[in-house]
Structure 1
Amino acid sequence: MATSSYYPHVIKSLQKITLNHTCLRVKDPKISVEFYTKKFGMKLLKQHKFPEYKFDLYFLGFDTNENKSKLKNSKGEIDVFQSSGILELTHNYGTENDPTFKVNNGNVEPNRGFGHVCFSCCDIVKTCDYLENEQKVTFRKKLSDGRQKDIAFVLDPDGYWIELVQYGCRNGIQFADEGYKLNHTMIRVKDSKKSVQFYQNVLGMDLVDVSEHANGKFTTYFLAYGKNEDNGNNRWKREGILELTHNWGTENEPDFHYHNGNDKPQGYGHICISCKDPAELCNEIDSKYGDHIKWGVKYNQGKMKNLAFIKDPDNYSIEIVPYGLTL
């Protein structure tokens, strides 16, 4: 990376931090939950209702190696905030009955920003055949389409893109089938140098891989907590990765910006990081950066307590919560 310092102060919290979940707004939760549970085998781990705010939350995950269903909080309940690879579906009351309501999937101009979530599997050919012929899932891109023959994209009920990649065989090494992983979440960024430095220095993430695509004039940056936790140099087996996609030249356009998913029309909500003591982490960020960092809500100062929302350079929201959060 270049030597210019957009975010020069490195946050030195010794806490373990987890990239916990990705939030997507959905039109009809019954349809969306059934899609992810029936088509992909995710488990509905937790549901929270907030009638006073007129929205509900549905937390889903793959019950694989991390055995998410056995993670407990202080009350003995499933702690969805302690694991990686969680998908949070947010339903605002009434959208399911509004024929004009449509979610912004983040991939259509002029509202591009969020790109996709990615599910990795052991055998992508077998998986795509199963999804197409038995589950009747709609494909945005089949393996045979385009230049990249080792990835596919399917669409969920709201038109969000789900990328499919393979971890089973990488660099000539065969890996055991461990089921699906919610491998990464992709967002587009205007200035890669600024964004990578934000996630590294402010939020303490590690840059685990960089992939340049000259034919498409874009570069992807993969960040996660724990650079060496790569399962034998196979980042596709991991959960809790953030992919930043930089389309070359956007950093030189003064008026260019991506849609953050929370402005109208809404869709993508945020990613969430969790740790044991978010107050300590937020205070350190605030003390080192002050007004140079934008907050949507500072820790414990919003209507909902024990959480914060920080903004990245493209105005995407990152939620910060404690392990064992009780909503």
Structure 2
Amino acid sequence: MKHIAIIAPDGQSNLSSVACIVGSYEIFSEANSYWEKNGHKPLYEVEIVGVSEQAVFSKGLVSIRPHTHINSLDKTDLIIIPSLAHDYESALAGNVAMVDWLSRQYKNGAELASMCTGAFMLASAGLLNGKVCSTHWSAVNTFSILFPNVKLRSHRTITDEAGIYTNGGAYSFLNLLVHLVEKFYDRPTAIFCAKLFQIEINREFQSIFTIFSGQKLHDDEEIKLAQQYIESKIDEKISVDQLSSRFSIGRRNFDRRFVKATGNTPLEYAQRVKIEAAKRAFENTRKTINEVMYEIGYSDLKAFREVFRKITGMSPMEYRERYNKSVVDS
């Protein structure tokens, strides 16, 4: 029988970590039951593994007693890493033994799956260098600064490369679990689990859930001023030449510094600021698509639709119909 190990981190975690651990255990247990009921031999032993006899979460509100210690588990086939607490550096420092164990297991053939901010643990082990990964949109800035050699794809719900799986934020870990059930069992078992737990199957993007607040965790003060200027001129169309000239920085150097500081080109940044404002308008007002478009400095409806869809994964009309309460209730 093969083995699935679900990690119980040592303290540097929160209630989301508990949800990931419990959700993983329950879904894989149901996958096992469905698999056996359909005439197959038992496929996976599922265990929660940790570095202590008891993992305590949320100041003692919840505790989990792992089935086994990582030092007692020589071989496993799949390792599930739950989300971590938002004090990522402390979380990583508190799980050094776990990080080392992950590296050894991956070298020995185990596949690894991180949920939400669990990607920080994978990245700290050096296992994501040069690879794609996703994490929660709220952690993107910190992740990009700490791990510049990782190809972050924060718009993706799931990434899958070289035996390493990651997923986006919060409860989208359920989508990852269905993906893993299909990968490690088969499609019918994945569909059964999706139906049983009412999880949307094959959801590829988390862009629609992102709240863009601007990447300002950097030390380039002139670029911060440029960001603030872009955000203050949301109803205007500002060219990059105008921006670089305003801050007396050569165009090429301005582009380079902006991308280094924010992870976006100046144009991409301006687009995301404008689309975030459009999203808020669609959520909270009864304004038409055209009214919102003009308010954020667009005059071409086709161009606005294309940029909106590129950033959110859906059209302005679809977004408005889904998230504006007055539209839904009318």
Higher relative contact order (CA 8 A, sep 6+): 1
TM-score normalised by length of structure 1: 0.26
Which structure: greater strand fraction?
1
TM-score normalised by length of structure 2: 0.25
Which structure: greater helix fraction?
2
